[in-house]
Structure 1
Amino acid sequence: MTDSLWFLLVGGLLLVMGLTTSLLKRLPVTPAIIYLAVGVLVGPTVLNLFHFNPLKESALLEVLTEVAVLISLFSAGVKMPVPFSFVRWRAPILLATVSMSLTVAMVAAFAHYLAGLQLGAAILLGAIVAPTDPVLATDVQIRHPGDRDQLRFTLTSEAGMNDGSAFPFVMLGMGLLDLHDIGEFSLNWVLVDVLWATMAGIAIGVVAGVALARLGWKLRRAPLNHELMDDFLGLGLIGVVYGLAVLVHAWGFLAVFFAAVALRQTELKLAKDALETSIGRTTQEIVRADTNAYPDPEPPPTVSEGSLVFKEHLERLSEVILILLIGGTLFINSWSWKAVALALFLFVVARPLSVLIGLAGTRTPWRIRGMTAWFGVRGIGSLYYLMYAIQHGLPETLALELIQMTLIVVALSILLHGISVKPLMGHFWRRNKQISTP
């Protein structure tokens, strides 16, 4: 496909999607399925107008997926509706650690004993497909900063964290393939790839997010009264945090997500303190007071909200392009029994079991556990980990095998989760409404 035809395809698809938004919302499927269908149609499966080779274009695809995940993680982080505390965040933390590890182990066992992959490759494959995706799961994630739905909060925060918590297992698999130094008895892996990289990534993100929130708040208020470019500040925070994290060998995905969370929560706290000071009463007194005597002031502008709309537009654009490319990689013979069996095992066995075990002993309602167990959407993050491994020396034969399996997992996730999300979520909300109504 020539550049002009590629521009026509993407531009035409964007025009159609933009002009038919109301119609698309009434369809029983997600937009991702439409993008995938168009990619399959123009790709080698049907018309063969273009074929995207992920092995030859692994460097380009690594950058594209990396940027898409970073933008999506930032968007997810600034929409977090509640301050961080272990009690409130216990469920997603368990999902991003315990359930994540169990999923890697189960997929690795399946790939090693049934698909015939060597142990290092099996662990690497498990790490690639285990994390849930912050890019393609928008229909089951938090929609706006005020959204306090427990299911969407759990799925969003899990996706924000496990895109970083998967990286140690990627490095372990690469280490067993002699592509990374994990040290004697895996000591280097435990100390550097697990402990240091995780803790340093979280710390960098929190410090940077808090610092930008306080600086932006100070510059906007009297006597300075500066106007700020929130879009630039959001992108700048992503770049600085991610670059610094990579520089010190920390997990940049974790750093960006927690930077966004810290930015948003710090701004909310500053706004709350300013409101109480300006009115001269505590929040409880304001609620009890006569609303005519104490009208609600206009909320102050914040970097997190100001940059969110722009990030969501970038997120949607990246989703269109990357899913089109996925469709353009698939041949009819890409649907091997091993790839399809792996995807079904992941969705029907590994994900549900890992969620039920990870959330055992918590107070999470069973209806939320069930929905969480099914909606472990796989997508762009998995492609990034795969391209990362290829760029770090993954042998070509093994790379081709992992590419085929990963692409089928992502494609089937788009199809199965995309078809089921609207009816299942609709039933879930109706059921919640019935339970909450006396």
Structure 2
Amino acid sequence: MIVNVWFVIGGALLVLMALIGTVLKRLPLTTALLYMAVGAALGPGVFGLIRFDPLEYAGALERLTEIAVLVSLFTAGLKLRTPFSDERWIPPLRLATLTMAVSIGLVTLLGVSLLRLPLGAAVLLGAILAPTDPVLASDVQVEHATDRSRLRFGLTGEAGLNDGTAFPFVMLGLGLLGHHELGTGGWRWLGVDVLWAAFAGLGIDPGTIQPQLQAAKDAGVKVMTSHFYDPSFEQNPVV
């Protein structure tokens, strides 16, 4: 029964958003706010039409949020068609490195001094809160590939970079809590989670992986075509 309710509500929301999409563009609102409002109204706090235990479905919720963030990052990255030699990359790089490291340090300090958290938990809290993630706020993103707004470019670029720069601090917090191996004196964390992870990612040659990506794309198109296309359809079309 719960599954049927989810399908009905999800389908109704998608149809509603498609119908009022033009109106939403004229208002200072995003679809995320409307989805959240509908969820709050249908949840146990108001009408109580939908009830589920987040802990019971923690795995499914984790996967859904990962998919949402990945799709958002991918679509935002497609709009940043600016070569790395362009000076517009300087602000997002500063935001995603120096500024975010300072933010994590300040949150860690507050977590230890005010909230009385263990050092590992405070570092982990800082790594979670420091990334701004404006990638989920479409109103402040780069609107299209030719958008020249430095502010929008800086926020969108930082949104794509901050997850990678926050990763070492997440692993550091987990290590201090005993859930990740840091090595003697933290050398494993510094060598693997910081230096190796960063330089391995930056060292990937686009010229090397581009042919492989193109081949994978072509193979995927062929598989989808052979799976969904039936030559007999042209001879016996279904009306």
TM-score between the two structures when normalised by the length of structure 2: 0.83
CA RMSD of aligned residues (A): 2.5
Give the drift of 1:184.
Answer: 1.5
> CA 1:153 to 1:231, structure 2 compared with 1: closer, same or farther past 3 Å?
farther
> CA 1:203 to 1:134, structure 2 compared with 1: closer, same or farther past 3 Å?
farther
Contact 1:128 1:170 in 2 (8 A): yes
Give the drift of 1:114.
Answer: 1.7
> How many Å separate the matches in 1 of 2:143 and 2:212?
24
- Unaligned runs of at least 5 residues, structure 2: 223-239
Give the drift of 1:231.
Answer: 8.7
The residue number in structure 1 matching 2:129 is 129
Corresponding pairs, count: 221
Q: Which has the higher contact order (CA 8 A, sep 6+)?
A: 1
The residue number in structure 1 matching 2:95 is 95
The residue number in structure 1 matching 2:175 is 175
* Percent identical: 50
> CA 1:52 to 1:123, structure 2 compared with 1: closer, same or farther past 3 Å?
farther
Give the drift of 1:65.
Answer: 2.1
The residue number in structure 2 matching 1:120 is 120
Instruction: Summarize deviations over 1:351-387 as a string: whole Å, max 9, x none.
Output: xxxxxxxxxxxxxxxxxxxxxxxxxxxxxxxxxxxxx
> How many Å separate the matches in 2 of 1:60 and 1:175?
25
Code of the residue aligned with 1:12 in structure 2: it is A
Give the drift of 1:207.
Answer: 5.1
Secondary structure class of the residue paired with 2:92: helix
Secondary structure class of the residue paired with 1:204: coil
Give the drift of 1:161.
Answer: 0.7
The residue number in structure 2 matching 1:144 is 144
> CA 1:99 to 1:53, structure 2 compared with 1: closer, same or farther past 3 Å?
farther
Instruction: Summarize deviations over 1:140-174 as a string: whole Å, max 9, x none.
Output: 11122222211111111111111111111100000
The residue number in structure 2 matching 1:25 is 25
The residue number in structure 2 matching 1:64 is 64
> How many Å separate the matches in 1 of 2:58 and 2:149?
38
- Unaligned runs of at least 5 residues, structure 1: 217-227, 234-438
Code of the residue aligned with 2:101 in structure 1: it is S
Instruction: Summarize deviations over 1:107-130 as a string: whole Å, max 9, x none.
Output: 222222222221111111111122
> CA 1:117 to 1:72, structure 2 compared with 1: closer, same or farther past 3 Å?
same
Query: How do 1:275-294 and structure 2 match up within 5 A?
Result: none
> CA 1:143 to 1:69, structure 2 compared with 1: closer, same or farther past 3 Å?
same
Give the drift of 1:62.
Answer: 2.3
